[in-house]
């Protein structure tokens, strides 16, 4: 190969993306049997949900800091909130809600997510509404719950680390969970 062709190849070589914590497709459990298009939508929802899972303990601490002891393990996610962000980012052209539900169900079947009791979800939802009204500008006393306020799940960090071992490098909370 000539020096010019080597130079041309190096100049036009596409940079390879470095894998991130949020990349989909890194689970150790089998993925559902889906066609190519459905699998792409599944992975997009998985990627967005992973962002929420990485910060699950942080949000759990935020909820616990409101002064009411909720019966949770302190690792919380809201898939409905994640789906809303996905719809904002894709300008409404992203996957249907059932796809996000299937990702949540897939992780729940693996034991990595567990549903909260109806009462706990209601109590945390009421706490979320009160927190929004008191803390953030633009919310009034008339503002109620959002569609996703009751869509709450608890993350089992031990099982989640079995599904996604790379989460141990995500942040200090996951490092601690991995070392326990």
Tens-digit pLDDT profile for residues 46-104: 999 999 999 999 999 988 888 778 888 999 999 988 898 888 888 888 899 999 999 99
Q: Is the pLDDT of residue 15 over 70?
A: no
Instruction: pLDDT band for 149, please (50, 70, 90 cuts).
Output: confident
The model carries a pTM of 0.82
Q: Which of 11-20, 24-33, 80-89, 102-111 has the lowest mean pLDDT?
A: 11-20
Question: What is the percent of the chain with per-residue pLDDT over 90, rounded to a whole number?
Answer: 50
Q: What was the pLDDT predicted at 145?
A: 73
Name the nearest CA neighbour of 87 among 78, 100, 102, 77.
100
Write the pLDDT tens digit of every residue in 94-148: 899 999 999 999 999 999 999 999 999 999 988 888 888 877 777 776 677 777 8
Which residue has 């690792």 as its token pair? 75
**Cα 54 from Cα 13, distance rounded (Å):** 33
Do 113 and 156 contact (CB within 8 A), yes or no? Answer: yes
Q: DSSP string spanning 135-172?
A: HSTT--TT----TTTT--EEE-HHHHHHH-GGGGGT-H
Q: Is the pLDDT of residue 17 over 90?
A: no
DSSP structural state of residue 68:
-
| DSSP H/E element including 115 | strand 113-115
CA distances from 2 to 9, 13, 113 (A): 11, 16, 56
Do 43 and 73 contact (CB within 8 A), yes or no? Answer: no
CA distances from 16 to 12, 22, 52, 154 (A): 12, 16, 26, 35
* 79-118 burial code (b ≥16 CB/10 A, e <16): bbbbbbebeeeeeeebbebebbebbbebbeebebbeebee
Two structure tokens written together for 177: 């969970």
Two structure tokens written together for 128: 């979320």
**Cα 135 from Cα 106, distance rounded (Å):** 35
**Cα 123 from Cα 155, distance rounded (Å):** 18
Distance of CA 174 to the CA centre of its chain: 14
């Amino acid at each position: 190969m000539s020096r010019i062709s080597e130079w041309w190849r190096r100049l036009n070589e596409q940079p390879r993306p470095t894998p991130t914590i949020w990349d989909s497709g890194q689970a150790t459990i089998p993925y559902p049997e889906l066609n190519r298009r459905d699998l792409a939508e599944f992975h997009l929802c998985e990627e967005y949900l992973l962002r929420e899972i990485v910060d699950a303990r942080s949000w759990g601490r935020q909820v616990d800091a409101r002064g009411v002891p909720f019966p949770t393990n302190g690792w919380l996610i809201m898939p409905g909130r994640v789906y809303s962000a996905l719809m904002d980012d894709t300008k409404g052209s992203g996957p249907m809600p059932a796809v996000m539900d299937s990702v949540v169900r897939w992780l729940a079947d693996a034991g990595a997510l567990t549903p909260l009791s109806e009462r706990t979800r209601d109590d945390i939802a009421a706490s979320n509404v009160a927190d929004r009204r008191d803390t953030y500008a633009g919310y009034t006393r008339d503002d109620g719950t959002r569609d996703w306020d009751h869509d709450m799940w608890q993350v089992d960090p031990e099982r989640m680390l079995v599904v996604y071992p790379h989460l141990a490098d995500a942040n200090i909370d996951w490092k601690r969970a991995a070392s326990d």
